[in-house]
Chains A and B, each alone.
Chain A
Amino acid sequence: MIAHLIARDLKIAFKDRGNLILGFAVPVVLFSVFVLIFGGMARSSGDMDPIRLIVVDEDGSDRSRRMVSHLRDMDALRVRIDHSAEDSEAKVPYTRDTARKAVVEGEVSTALVIPKGLSTGISGHLFVEPDSVPALSLFFDAAEPLEAQVVRGLLQQVLFMSMSDLWALEGIDIMAAELDLGAGTSEQMSTWMQEVFDEFGGLPGAGGTSAGGDSATSDSTATGYALESPIPIDMVDVLGETKKNPIAAMTAAQVVVMFLLFSVMFSAGSILREQEGGTLRRLLVSPMTARQFLLGKMGSTAAFGFLQILIMFVYGWLVFKVDLFRDFPAVLLLTAVCAFSATALGMVIASLCRTYRQIDSIATLVVLSMSAVGGSMVPRFLMPDWMQKIGLVSFNAWAIDGYYKIFWREMGTLQILPQVGVLAAAGAIFFLISSHLFQKRFYT
């Protein structure tokens, strides 16, 4: 009897396509997506894509140039010192301000400023008066803390390499003074050391890791963390420093976009509820056209999604101090376009599905997959480059990028136009597809 019941239940379960998708396809797809994401992240720790670093050399000394050269030699870094001028093809060096702006706008995640007077400031002060040594400034984007830490580690390594002669010579002076070796002995040792530097270009052994390479992000970085930097490094969080709750600003966008998709998908599924309830046929034989019906459904669904996002952000503003009103028109514009685009996508899926149960399964699959690759579950900047590119096919990536720009990078309407344009175009295409599918399906 029990076997009979089991057999019947399994038979029913395997006849239900929605159940099969939800039970088998969704876990398999999500499993694959997460393996790709976390697999990519794990590989990236040993084979990281080069980090883009802007270097501003205000000092302009031989020593600072040597530092820049060492940084350029690092395989783990892609150093940029200049950029195209706004009104010509000519290259102009980054300044402190343009470098900072580049980090704020997300062009790079880190920028290093070697301050003027560094070379003269450090002579004879490395050990005895470290506080008087001018500090390096490392601008970073707190949204990408991992990259900032890696750059800091590499920078410490470069500093040891670039300052090794000064360090050694200064050390000899201190040692000679401590041991009372006399000026002659100290000078002899310094001269010998200088000859070594001249011949090898640095402290023997120090140049062995100058290329950085694969070990740059592991052993060398570990060394960098272990020792104090010979020159102070000011870590400047150019984005998070002004925010009351930077994590909330970032999380809000990720969460809001995923839940928008969920709610919109199921609202779009009300088309199938109308079909199953018989009201759809009644509507379609009224003076209302199929396109009007779709537009009406889109309007109500998008309005609901729009309100949902706004309520989430208002909650974030009230409770987590998300800076909602810094550029509210930009928020409204992006939210409206997101709601439209997500709704149109929902309409395509609703037009493809035959039953509400199918929507349940397929929408879950689509939303979770897009959320995974699009950055709602794991920020895209933590993913490898190729994964980030794949993520661009998702609704989430564009929407989240737009909200990041507003809330995190403090940009305005003009700067989010690429995201707005892509989402609006995708929405228009989705609408045309759903309209075609709907007409084809319901007028036979």
Chain B
Amino acid sequence: MTQPPMLHSTGLTKDYGSLRALSDVDLEIFEGEIFGLLGPNGAGKTTFINIATTYLKPTSGTLAIAGLDVLEETAGIKDLLGVVPQEISLYDSLSAEENLAFFGGLYGLRGSTLKTRISDVLNLLGLEERRKDKVENYSGGMRRRINMGAGILHKPRLILMDEPTVGVDPQSRHHIFQVIEDLRGGGATILYTTHYMEEAERLCDRIAIIDHGRVVVCGTHRELVDLIGEQSLLEIGFRGQPEPGVLEKAFPDADLGGDRILIRTKDAAGALPSHVRSLADAGLELASINVREPDLETVFLHLTGRQLRDGGEES
């Protein structure tokens, strides 16, 4: 008998009044996989995580973790999960060690097992020497690391990480990536949400791109990039104030944003002269030219017509 996926959602939908935060999401995440949920702020990533953690109830559809339904078997699911929330969720007046001991205790860790796990995690996070310091005296990046430590201390089977690197310094980001690599080595299954395509590319075995509550596409990095074929992304920067409608007419297939024109093309070098002429005809001065190989940003742009880092509130 084959094992069920570690996480399996079917037609998962969540409405907040008239706002549809998640729409018909079908996903499968398999044991030992690091699965990325990539999308801009407000795409529905946190809503998906909240349903998976049993914190929110779906409006319709199902979500099962290791075959356990989120609505029916919450207690069993909670035992399997480790959650690294997007916001720092620690007790500032307690030390790192005390925080970890408290959260470990919630999952039944006691005595020497708990002590050993705290030391292991603090070593992994590079915070062993600061274990006795109150969290309120930590830098933002160090807090993020402890925030992660509290979610992985009990060696959960499925770890849900909701944008764990938001606002962290490079050193802490590096530590966090190391921890994730370490967890991968240990066979953990991770659902990792982010709006940083570099993180998804670097860490994730498979990636689902989500936008406006819908999963636009899902596959490995290679599979996603191949979706747009051999196309490169030609980015042309300009100076000057274009007349209304002029750019749209001159670059009908391009994505326009501020002082940049983004054009998907199989032959960037060949297409460039005509685009530069069109720019001059529009009365604008060329400022920069950049040719990017296809990446997730390109994929997202290709599929949604928007850039990945467009603003928006997370729901």
Contact = CB atoms under 8 A, between A and B. Distances in A.
Interface of A: 277-279, 281-289, 442-444
A279 B107 contact: no
Interface in B246-269: none
Contacts of A285: 53-55, 78, 81, 83
A281 B78 contact: no
Q: Which of A278, A284, A285, A286 has the most CB of B within 10 A?
A: A285
A283 B106 contact: yes
Nearest to A289: B75
B91 A286 contact: no
Interface in B56-77: 56-57, 75
Q: Which of B53, B88, B89, B91 has the most CB of A within 10 A?
A: B89
Given A286-B78, A287-B106, A287-B107, A278 B55 contact: no
A279 B147 CA distance: 10
B75 A287 contact: yes
Q: Which of A286, A289, A443 has the most CB of B within 10 A?
A: A286
Contacts of A444: 56-57
A281 B57 contact: no
B79 A287 contact: yes
A47 B92 CA distance: 60
Q: Which of B55, B56, B91, B108 has the most CB of A within 10 A?
A: B55
Contacts of B89: 277-279, 281-282
Interface string B38-62: 0000000000000001111100000
Contact of A286 (B56, B57, B90, B107): B107
B87 interface: yes
Interface of B: 53-57, 75, 78-79, 81, 83, 85, 87-92, 103, 106-108, 150
A442 B56 CA distance: 8
Closest 7 interchain pairs by CB? A278-B89, A285-B53, A278-B87, A282-B89, A286-B106, A287-B78, A279-B89
Contacts of B57: 443-444
Contacts of A282: 83, 85, 89, 103, 150
B85 A284 contact: no
Given A285-B81, A286-B103, A288-B106, A279 B53 contact: no
Nearest to A273: B91
A281 B85 contact: yes
A176 to B, nearest CB: 92
Contacts, number: 45
A278 B81 CA distance: 17
Given A278-B89, A279-B89, A282-B85, A443 B107 contact: no
20 contacts: A277-B89, A278-B87, A281-B55, A281-B85, A282-B83, A282-B85, A282-B103, A282-B150, A283-B106, A285-B54, A285-B55, A286-B78, A286-B83, A286-B103, A286-B106, A287-B78, A288-B106, A443-B56, A444-B56, A444-B57
A283 B103 CA distance: 8
Contacts of A283: 106
Nearest to A280: B89
Contacts of B107: 286-287
Nearest to B74: A289
A303 B144 CA distance: 33
A442 B74 CA distance: 14
B55 A279 contact: no
Contacts of B92: 277
Contacts of A289: 75
A284 B55 contact: yes
A443 B87 CA distance: 19
Contact of B91 (A279, A281, A284, A442): A279
A68 B103 CA distance: 74
A152 B186 CA distance: 88
A266 to B, nearest CB: 16
Nearest to B78: A287
A299 to B, nearest CB: 15
A304 to B, nearest CB: 16
A278 B85 contact: yes
B90 A443 contact: no
Nearest to B87: A278
B121 to A, nearest CB: 16
Contacts of A284: 55
Contacts of B54: 285
A404 to B, nearest CB: 39
Nearest to B54: A285
Contacts of B91: 277, 279
A441 to B, nearest CB: 12
Contacts of B81: 285
A283 B105 CA distance: 11
Contacts of B108: 287
A444 B21 CA distance: 14
Contacts of A288: 106
A442 B54 CA distance: 11
A275 to B, nearest CB: 11
A285 to B, nearest CB: 4
B70 to A, nearest CB: 11
A286 B90 CA distance: 14
A428 to B, nearest CB: 25
Nearest to B92: A277
A443 B78 contact: no
A284 B87 CA distance: 15
A286 B57 CA distance: 16
A279 B90 contact: yes
Given A278-B87, A279-B91, 8 more contacts: A278-B85, A278-B88, A278-B89, A279-B90, A285-B54, A287-B79, A443-B55, A444-B56
